[in-house]
Structure 1
Amino acid sequence: MRKIGYIRVSSEDQNLARQKQQLLEIGMDIIFEEKISGATMNRLELQNMLKEIKSGDIIYVTDLTRITRSTHDLFLLIDLIRGKKAYLKSLKDTWLDLSEENPYSQFLITIMAGVNQLERDLIRMRQREGIEIAKREGKFKGRVKKYHNNHAGMNYALKLYQEGEMTVKQICEITNISRASIYRKLLEIKGLDSI
């Protein structure tokens, strides 16, 4: 069993020393550290740590906001860690200790999952209610088309297509617009179902 530490701050000008000291005081075999936003799981050192962990390892963080800022991502991380038969422990969030058969930690994680789901459902419900009100008031226009009639890139792609001197593949490379988008726009212009 190894003790693996993960420490993170959001930007280059912030200091990792306090977190590092807290973990070193309880003894670590490896510490992964990085200076990057916690908004995504797509972080180099986090991914390196997830690849490194083995059965029986315990991952330590000073607090959960260091490993992720998202409840959804926390559950994903817990599942990944458990999948490798490893554990996660937070020094600040003492209720989270998955290194033992702790029914309270599992209970609180389950409650957090429920709260997270409720929050997402309430957001969707408020969004639907807002759209219905906007529709009744004639203010809802729906999603704005990405390639509207005045979109310079699409207009240039259509011009090149109409000139007929380039292949659609070449036009896509020059304009950075997908083949499907160009064909969809051509169908829209011609009012046809297929080309």
Structure 2
Amino acid sequence: MAVIGYKRVSAKAQHAQLQEDALSAAGCSKVYEDKASGKNAERPGLLAALDYMREGDTLCVWKLDRLGRSTKDVLTTAEVLHAHGIALRILTGTLSGTYSPKGEGKFFFTMMAAFAELERDMIIERTHAGLAAAKAQGRVGGRPSVITEDVLTVAKARKAKGESITAIAKALEVSRATLYRHIG
């Protein structure tokens, strides 16, 4: 009976060291990882973990939202695990412990999965509200544009003379996509 870990971070630039440490402390003999958004259906690390595991094994995750953000997705994964005789252990959060799809345990797990999805939706809502408030105050997020008014004037003049976007981009040391975005 093996304890197999699964960790997931939402962006390629994020690191899962906290999850890694917790899974190691929980005695996971092998850990699978995905670097993808929870809403992303493509999770090769989770699929590999599920393929590797056998009846009697335990899938261990740091927190419920690492398994998936959609209530349906989390419950479907939990049911697949149970159908194959694989336990689900959650290390932290309100639902820490081992998942049992029976009676009160199933009801509690379903409610926690719904709350995890609600939390994700609220984070998205707050993020969008914050971005809208910043935009209303004239602040714009993201990296500063490499296209200044001078560069744009030069680019438009070269384009008017019939020079290709590729040649202009190379000469001005900007990407073709950036030029297309600014001069069409």
Give 1:1-195 correspondences, 5 Å limit.
1-93=1-93, 95-98=95-98, 104-111=104-111
Report the Cα distance in structure 1 between the residues aligned to 2:72 and 2:101, rounded to whole angstroms.
23
Instruction: List alignment gaps of at least 5 residues for structure 2.
Output: 119-184
1:47–1:30 distance in 2 versus 1, CA, 3 Å? same
Contact 1:8–1:16, Cα closer than 8 Å, also in 2: yes
Residue 67 of structure 1 aligns with an amino acid whose one-letter code is L
Report the Cα distance in structure 2 between the residues aligned to 1:81 and 1:22, rounded to whole angstroms.
21
Residue 65 of structure 2 aligns with an amino acid whose one-letter code is T
Contact 2:64–2:93, Cα closer than 8 Å, also in 1: yes
- Give the TM-score taking structure 2 as reference length: 0.56
Residue 25 of structure 1 aligns with an amino acid whose one-letter code is A
1:88–1:2 distance in 2 versus 1, CA, 3 Å? same
Q: Which shows bigger deviation, 33-42 or 73-82?
A: 33-42
SS of aligned partner of 1:42: coil
> How far 1:102 sits from its partner (Å)?
7.2
Q: Which string of whole-angstrom CA distances, capped at 9 and with x for unpartnered residues, describes residues 27-61 of structure 1?
A: 11110012111113321111111111110111111
Contact 2:99–2:109, Cα closer than 8 Å, also in 1: no
User: Over aligned residues, Cα RMSD in angstroms?
Assistant: 2.5
Report the Cα distance in structure 1 between the residues aligned to 2:47 and 2:88, rounded to whole angstroms.
15
Report the Cα distance in structure 2 between the residues aligned to 1:74 and 1:56, rounded to whole angstroms.
20
Residue 18 of structure 1 aligns with an amino acid whose one-letter code is L
Larger Rg over CA atoms? 1
> How far 1:95 sits from its partner (Å)?
3.1
Residue 58 of structure 2 aligns with an amino acid whose one-letter code is I
Contact 1:58–1:99, Cα closer than 8 Å, also in 2: no
SS of aligned partner of 1:92: coil
Report the Cα distance in structure 2 between the residues aligned to 1:74 and 1:60, rounded to whole angstroms.
13
Contact 1:89–1:97, Cα closer than 8 Å, also in 2: yes
1:41–1:50 distance in 2 versus 1, CA, 3 Å? farther
Contact 2:39–2:69, Cα closer than 8 Å, also in 1: yes
Report the Cα distance in structure 2 between the residues aligned to 1:97 and 1:51, rounded to whole angstroms.
23
Q: How many residues align?
A: 116
Report the Cα distance in structure 1 between the residues aligned to 2:103 and 2:89, rounded to whole angstroms.
14
Residue 39 of structure 1 aligns with an amino acid whose one-letter code is K
Report the Cα distance in structure 1 between the residues aligned to 2:112 and 2:94, rounded to whole angstroms.
15
Residue 2 of structure 2 aligns with an amino acid whose one-letter code is R
Contact 1:54–1:86, Cα closer than 8 Å, also in 2: yes
Instruction: List alignment gaps of at least 5 residues for structure 1.
Output: 120-195
Q: Percent identity?
A: 29
Contact 2:3–2:27, Cα closer than 8 Å, also in 1: yes
